[in-house]
Structure 1
Amino acid sequence: MEMKCVMVIDADLPTGLISNTAAVLALTLGKEIEGIIGPTVKDGSGHPHVGITTTPIPILKGDSLKIKELRNKLYAEEFSDLFVVDFTNAAQTTKSYEEYIEKISTLSTNDLEYLGLALYGDKKKVNKLTGSMGLLR
């Protein structure tokens, strides 16, 4: 099975929040997906360069409604084998992880506003969900 990774980020966010959302999603992908980060390499002078992603990660544009719809589709059994990272307004509006835990526990799924998602898994399934979305530019 060929694997694919994409991010979908709300294009209506300010540039700083888009960057922050991408960074948060990427950190979690790097932590959770074994092999997505390559080993340290050496350049021609023998200097080390810490490993970077071994997988292209296109960043696609959406808006808060499209991202919420996409997130809701990911709860279906058909897509249960995809790895999903979501980043919400609950995370963006708290100052510590403890506050985030407390805040998100009081919100229903319908109350969350999604700033971005990262998907990783079977290329056909990822394309089925995101193939019509344009690149964030």
Structure 2
Amino acid sequence: MTIVLQDIRLAIIVNPDLPPGHLANTIAAISIGIGSAMPDLGNCRLTDSRQNTIDISSNRPVPILQADSRTIGALLLKALPKEEDRIVVPFPAFARSLHSYADYEAQFPERDLSDETIDGVGLAGAAKWVKSLTGSLRLLR
């Protein structure tokens, strides 16, 4: 990946109408996807004055924004097709009904994301690109 890390901006957009547990799960799953696609966002350890070493959570802000599913789906389609220097991690609602990743992986090729309800999407890439997609969205409250 050829992204200049200083220019990276992150955003996670979720449907605020999801039940709290589903909301938390959606954000967590998207975060894992972004982190695995771009490990330099958090692959670091820090040691405090007592020599307690931790793995950091993130080396930059991760705003959680809100939008309804229709807006999230439209935003996802604008972000696609995915370019090499951009991370796009959607959470389609159908994934929640499946009980294993193998089932998700098997069903995904038969699905059309433009027809699916999207509960959330995570973006990482050049600040200008992320801002162009999320600039009008509000923080999740």
What's the TM-score, normalizing by structure 2?
0.88
Q: Which of 45, 56, 65 in structure 1 is aligned with 2:61?
A: 56
Question: 1:63, CA displacement in angstroms?
Answer: 0.7
Is it true that 1:129 corresponds to 2:133 in the alignment? Answer: yes
* Structure 2 residue aligned with 1:88: 92
- Structure-1 residue corresponding to 2:37: 32
CA distance in 2, matches of 1:105, 1:73: 20
Matches within 5 A, 1:65-76: 65-75=70-80
Give me the CA root mean square deviation. 1.5
Which residue of the partner structure matches residue 98 of structure 1? 102
Partner residue in 2 for 1:42? 47
- Inter-partner Cα distance in structure 1 for 2:23 and 2:70: 16
The residue matched to 1:115 in structure 2 has which SS? strand
The CA deviation string for residues 22-73 of structure 1, in whole angstroms up to 9 with x for no partner, is: 1001111111103100421111111111222101100000110000010111
Counterpart of 1:9?
14
The residue matched to 1:44 in structure 2 has which SS? Answer: coil
Q: Give percent identity, aligned residues only.
A: 29
Distance 1:52 1:67 in 2: 25
Q: Tell me which residue corresponds to 1:116.
A: 120
List runs of 5+ in structure 2 lacking aligned partners.
Answer: none
Is the CA contact 2:12–2:27 (under 8 Å) kept in the aligned structure 1? yes
CA distance in 2, matches of 1:110, 1:47: 47
Q: Distance in 2 between matches of 1:134 and 1:128?
A: 14
Partner-residue secondary structure (3-state), 1:54: coil
Aligned pairs, number: 135
Question: Secondary structure of 1:35's match?
Answer: helix
Quick one: distance in 1 between partners of 2:91 and 2:59? 23
Runs of 4+, deviation exceeding 6 Å: none
